[in-house]
Structure 1
Amino acid sequence: MTLERLKKAERVIGIKQVTKAINKNQALCVFIGTDADGRVIDPIRSLCNEKTIPVEAAYTMGELGRACSIEVGAAAVAILR
């Protein structure tokens, strides 16, 4: 998946919201910032592996934040079904 798709898709931003979307089987794909703290994103990676949700980790938190039109970085973003 690309940042262009992320810009146009229905999505949730942030660790808590992404975790909720994964648990409710609403997440289609999860983007994780390459510079995000491992302690924060490792539980999301594990959850995605359990639920077989693809994880994209090719962008920084700043790039993810800009793609979501927010002024701060985003450690995690999920595209919703």
Structure 2
Amino acid sequence: MGHSKLSVTIPDDIYDQINEYASKGKIKLSHLVTEALVDKLRMIKEQAYVQQVNDALKDEAVVKEQRQMAETIADNTDVKELPW
């Protein structure tokens, strides 16, 4: 994977905190920032997916179809309970 340089402006207190954390953990600051951005992007994508599902389930026809499909699967599946 290639790398790009990025210049950003952040509040001094945030910079001090991440710099201190990186120093104590012997982690490169760029690695810490990269991990934070990856986590944030993952969260944004997950929220967008959840919103898409919620939007789809606002449609009563979709809900009805999903319910029927679940009932059909349940009716045609031989499920044995496992002993605990």
Q: State whether TM-score is above 0.5.
A: no
Pick the structure with more helix per residue: 2
Q: Which has the larger radius of gyration?
A: 2
Q: TM-score, normalised by structure 2?
A: 0.28
Higher relative contact order (CA closer than 8 Å, sequence separation 6+)? 1
